[in-house]
Structure 1
């Protein structure tokens, strides 16, 4: 682990007094977002912590704002250890301050998804027993029946609260991330607080971000991947660059003008960047994606345009990370999900739980330092310390992991096991196709068949028979979609996952 931290600049020498203060803070506060921010403020108080279109704060200033907000929430709203607050916000400095304030009080902070309906947010708020919501001004209308503070109210609380010295809570605050809700109502997943620098080293083992980098985080902070980017940035005392909404041209301009060395995104954003500027004028050293499947064809196109800077983290809300594919891995085979990073164990197991050999397809199981602590509705168990991801996959003879699809996505068509993902990968390679989703649908003759939902590039034309003939040429007959439907866009979550139930 130490050689990874040294390579990324975390063991570089600095002023002895500040190093001692940083380590003492981590010992007292732990590795929550509150502890990491306070420790970074002790070590590098004048380093810019966050830049968004409305503001820019150093680490010392961001901690001061977070601490004042925490004190105000405790005194005026009774939030303390074990309390529950919700944060309903897009990417900006105020969202970070709200998360840190809650954790600094020992509260549980539920990260709410702005794309949910008012009814869904109301259901989540009651299910999670949220006492108070901190929300963006334009999202207040989504919060019926729960006490809430908008940005104006929060700013007044911060301004009216004098500086104070907040002590570490008796019990560390915790973050709760909602599952994507693509197949059912969102559930709250308790995020584990890191116990040290091991989780940071695991990710940095394969994604070469460094201390002091400027990192544009386009992935939403309320999602596991965006949250991970925040924690990585705090650990590296990096500068986060944020925008409330993802706009390809604004993202490219910010990366260029602010000299960002890193870009954290979700795969669908890569497609939008390529459409906006096929030949970019500036390329970050690291572009890291996660949150949904990365089509192999898109990975290749992106690296051809932006250079070999792309890293793909395969994980989930429950597992955090499973494997990471480097540019070298994806040049070898763009379909691969890479290799497990430092400190991560991955096994392929049969339905009966037996480990499978190289090349055999089974459920992917993982063990790492950041497996979730269970859903808020109940406690999960992880047999042998391994968590089943619900994904099916296999290792090749070079140790590269491949995800073959969700276990519940596989269909049986005429007695044959069929996975939608290879069909999606193939159709996405057609030059006319912008994006595609393939799912199983009932069929009276074969039991189930595939249906392909296709979005074309503007001005392009393609018919259903041409798509079916293309698949028939390269894959088995039972992989040929019975239905090919053309849509203007695919229904997606904020992190780019397709929502199959809305397709059907």
Structure 2
């Protein structure tokens, strides 16, 4: 393996006794030297099980040290880690296994009840349970790993959420993960003093690549978060003296409502980051009232996922902006026939060495998404005169009603400012007259009795007539994806029976 690709080995040489990873639940800590030794042991064990370069190794586990063990081990001996979304049904997981055909699958003891069913799909398996996994993570280390690994070789394959169709296996090379890490470190000014607690699921790129790998690469510390609650997050941030954290808007929504958030000054925190979906403006306000730095980012599995930087100072002024492109990637906004001008909405295209390689077993989707090195994200964005970018929404979510283009985020942000509204999602539903009608799905706060008769005139204060929802549908809760995004595909399905 080329020395520059095994950055963990080099980091262990530079910072051997520094704590690299801490388990939030048990408080067990591993130094960089120990993490590297574990990875070498696991790589040696994988080789003893017949795993070779290019083979897929699947993992079904809650957030756990085994993610890092297997990712770093695969990196050392050339295999490809496939983290599995444990929130999917057994049938869906089986379909993914049939697609990626792993030679080995690790299953955490938490999912022991489906162990036998999954091993029917992938017979070669091992159970991640304390006593037997200890043997794997301390397996006798080979003197060296002789595979010739280059930076374009695959290292991980992360399956997309599948909210718009069948999940696709996004193949990430050593290069894409390495460059995302370096780009993030330099653009965000991360240091070895940074500490983060990670509550995002590690089967998702946000859990592995958004912050965990960059923080470890620079020599910082990652706390492996257990199940998220707002109260637990505040306690863990302060106990571990965290400096930076990435959460999704639904997590922040829960966090800011806790007494613990209101009562803490978060003395060690430099910045709170939000990702995965556009953030409601009332969350910005909650942090601004406490004098805490808060900002948004943007990414996707196919691109890093980190692509923009904005300073906390600019984030206060440019609310809702994800900032400017980072140091080592390019951004372009395109309309059907040309590049978009300032303040025009266009599709967001991304280019850089952090880009994914291809979709596994899906040449058509690869050719539709990756063109001449540019990732066509399917997201719509605009850029202001100062070069700051704003995500408008998904291209597929844009509503065309009576020939007019409507961007749901604008309506969602306005409705979310009402104190009576807890959550809101806007989408277009089919209509014979208008093509689509703007429809708002709303969750009210417990004490609220607000109805359509109050919401409609409220919308008229700011929104053009064609943007005002023609339907308001009230729900007890909005369906979410496995990373906490509002699941608009499921909402559209629900609308047919409401």
The TM-score normalised by the length of structure 2 is: 0.89
C-alpha contact (below 8 Å) 2:2/2:148 kept by paired residues: no
Post-superposition offset of 1:198? 5.2
Q: 1:169 to 1:433 in 2, by over 3 A?
A: farther
Q: Which residue of 1 aligns with 2:81?
A: 109
Considering only aligned residues, what root-mean-square deviation do their CA atoms show, in Å? 2.2
For residues 472 and 284 of structure 2, the distance between their equivalents in structure 1, rounded to whole angstroms, comes to 24
Which of 297, 303, 307 matches 1:319? 303
Which of 394, 401, 405 matches 2:389? 401
Residue 181 (structure 1) aligned with residue 162 (structure 2): yes
For residues 195 and 366 of structure 1, the distance between their equivalents in structure 2, rounded to whole angstroms, comes to 13
Post-superposition offset of 1:200? 3.5
- More deviation, 227-236/160-169: 160-169
C-alpha contact (below 8 Å) 1:299/1:330 kept by paired residues: no
Q: Which residue of 2 aligns with 1:345?
A: 330
Post-superposition offset of 1:411? 1.8
Post-superposition offset of 1:173? 5.3
Post-superposition offset of 1:384? 4.2
Q: Which residue of 1 aligns with 2:139?
A: 161
Post-superposition offset of 1:208? 3.5
For residues 207 and 297 of structure 1, the distance between their equivalents in structure 2, rounded to whole angstroms, comes to 24
Residue 235 (structure 1) aligned with residue 217 (structure 2): yes
Residue 412 (structure 1) aligned with residue 400 (structure 2): yes
SS in 1 for 2:102: coil
For residues 191 and 469 of structure 2, the distance between their equivalents in structure 1, rounded to whole angstroms, comes to 46
For residues 387 and 63 of structure 1, the distance between their equivalents in structure 2, rounded to whole angstroms, comes to 33
Q: Which residue of 1 aligns with 2:496?
A: none
Residue 93 (structure 1) aligned with residue 69 (structure 2): no
SS in 2 for 1:501: helix
Q: Which residue of 1 aligns with 2:41?
A: 68
Q: 1:140 to 1:196 in 2, by over 3 A?
A: closer
Residue 151 (structure 1) aligned with residue 128 (structure 2): yes
Q: Which residue of 2 aligns with 1:18?
A: none
CA deviation profile, 1:305-327 (whole Å, cap 9, x unmatched): 3x342232211111223323332
For residues 487 and 166 of structure 1, the distance between their equivalents in structure 2, rounded to whole angstroms, comes to 58
SS in 2 for 1:186: coil
Which of 246, 255, 270 matches 1:264? 246
Q: 1:389 to 1:96 in 2, by over 3 A?
A: same
Post-superposition offset of 1:428? 0.8
Residue 310 (structure 1) aligned with residue 294 (structure 2): yes
C-alpha contact (below 8 Å) 1:177/1:190 kept by paired residues: yes
SS in 2 for 1:459: coil
Provide structure 1 residue ranges, at least 5 long, that are not aligned to the other structure.
1-26
For residues 196 and 190 of structure 1, the distance between their equivalents in structure 2, rounded to whole angstroms, comes to 11
For residues 113 and 489 of structure 2, the distance between their equivalents in structure 1, rounded to whole angstroms, comes to 26
Post-superposition offset of 1:66? 2.0
Q: 1:160 to 1:257 in 2, by over 3 A?
A: closer
C-alpha contact (below 8 Å) 2:154/2:172 kept by paired residues: no
Q: 1:196 to 1:74 in 2, by over 3 A?
A: closer
Residue 28 (structure 1) aligned with residue 13 (structure 2): no
What are the residue-to-residue correspondences of 1:51-66 with 2, within 5 Å? 51-52=22-23, 53-54=25-26, 55-66=28-39
Residue 204 (structure 1) aligned with residue 178 (structure 2): no
- More deviation, 445-454/319-328: 319-328
Post-superposition offset of 1:163? 3.7
Which of 255, 262, 277 matches 2:237? 255
Q: Which residue of 2 aligns with 1:134?
A: 106
Q: 1:322 to 1:162 in 2, by over 3 A?
A: closer
For residues 189 and 412 of structure 2, the distance between their equivalents in structure 1, rounded to whole angstroms, comes to 30
For residues 231 and 105 of structure 1, the distance between their equivalents in structure 2, rounded to whole angstroms, comes to 19
For residues 195 and 424 of structure 1, the distance between their equivalents in structure 2, rounded to whole angstroms, comes to 34
Q: Which residue of 1 aligns with 2:340?
A: 356
Post-superposition offset of 1:441? 0.4
Post-superposition offset of 1:192? 2.9
Provide structure 2 residue ranges, at least 5 long, that are not aligned to the other structure.
493-498
Residue 82 (structure 1) aligned with residue 54 (structure 2): yes
Q: 1:371 to 1:417 in 2, by over 3 A?
A: same
Post-superposition offset of 1:201? 4.3
Residue 274 (structure 1) aligned with residue 256 (structure 2): yes
Q: 1:170 to 1:205 in 2, by over 3 A?
A: closer
For residues 74 and 373 of structure 2, the distance between their equivalents in structure 1, rounded to whole angstroms, comes to 30
Residue 367 (structure 1) aligned with residue 355 (structure 2): no
The TM-score normalised by the length of structure 1 is: 0.88
Post-superposition offset of 1:440? 0.8
- More deviation, 479-488/232-241: 479-488
Which of 418, 422, 426 matches 2:410? 422
